[in-house]
Structure 1
C-alpha cells in the first residue's frame, strides 16, 4: 500500500536505520566533496513508494571540527533490486 509520510518512533535506535544514516553522510561526502562525519540519527519518517523512502534527520559535523548541525536526508530503498540511493541531503533550515 502506498501512502503518505509517517513517523517511525524509536527507529532512530535501530541498527539498520543508523546504517542508512551513515550511508547518507558517506554518499553526500562522495557526491559533493564534503567532509562530514555522522554523529547521530535524530528522527526517522518513512513512506511506502515503489520500495521505501526514508526521511532521516541526521546530526553531523565537519571532520575538521565545528559545531554539530542537523541535516535532512532522503534515502530510497528497493531491496528486491538491491538498490539504495541518496535522493537528497540538505541542512535543516533554522536549526541554529
Structure 2
C-alpha cells in the first residue's frame, strides 16, 4: 500500500485480502486480490503482484491496477 501511494499519490485504506496465490519463478510472485478504498470513494478490488527474492533481500511491486469493481 505504501509503495502504491508513493508511486501514484492515491491514498488507499486497506480493507482485506479477497484472494491470494503464489507462483514460483526466478523468485516468488505473489498475486493478491485486495479490497481497498480511497477516502470518500467506493471500495474497489485491486489485483496486486509482488515479486520477491527473499534470499537476496529484493521485493518489487510489479503491478497494482484497479479492477474497477
Do both share a fold (TM > 0.5)? Answer: yes
**Higher helix content, 1 or 2:** 1
How far apart are the structure 2 equivalents of 1:34 and 1:55? 20
| Partner residue, 1:38 | 14
Look up the match of 1:9: none
- TM-score between the two structures when normalised by the length of structure 1: 0.67
Q: CA RMSD, aligned part only?
A: 1.1
1:46-85 aligned within 5 A: 46-62=22-38, 64-85=39-60
Q: Which has the higher strand share?
A: 2
- What number of residue pairs does the alignment pair up? 69
Q: Distance in 1 between matches of 2:13 and 2:56?
A: 28
Give TM-score, length-normalised by structure 2. 0.91
Once the two structures are superposed, residues 30-51 of structure 1 have per-residue CA deviations (whole angstroms, 9 ceiling, x without a partner) of 1111111111111001110111
Provide the rounded CA distance (Å) in 2 between the counterparts of 1:45 and 1:33: 27
| Ranges in structure 2 where 5+ consecutive residues have no aligned partner | none
Gaps of 5+ in 1: 1-24
